Amino acid sequence: LCTSGSVLQERLLAGRTSAPYLLQQTWMGCGALVATFVSCRFVDGLPLSRLFEGFDDWVVVLVLVMYTLNGLTAGLLVKRLGALAKALCVPVHLGCCYVYAVAIGSATLEPVAVATWLASTLFVVAFAVSKAV
């Protein structure tokens, strides 16, 4: 879904070079907010008050801040390099999350996962090198 959103963002905003970056991200955030409300209310049948549970916990607020910063940097990556480059960077990002999960003990180190991540990372580097040449 994230990559699909990036491709959609690139298609919608590619012709509008005059639109400032933060304005573009604001529109993407509004779209995400509407999607969240619709899925919460109509797909899951939950009251909208459920969206506000957990904000008294600092860990939840930290996760939301980090998620927002991740979205802003991903949007900047799409704006500068395109959706394909952003999609190719996803394995690197997920690999970093996996290393963190192993480090804190919530995941185990699996050789197959490491080999897959290494192959994906090599493809990303090969793509970057081919674009630079």
Token digits for 129?
A: 């090198």
pLDDT in tens, the chain (133 residues): 555 666 666 666 666 667 677 777 777 778 778 888 888 888 888 888 887 887 888 888 888 888 777 777 777 776 777 666 666 677 777 888 888 888 888 889 999 988 988 888 787 778 777 776 6
User: 66-88 in b/e burial notation, b at 16+ Cβ within 10 A?
Assistant: eeeeebeebbebbbeebbebbbb
Measured distance CA(7)–CA(18) in Å, rounded = 19
pTM score of the predicted model: 0.47
CB 93 within 8 A of CB 124: no
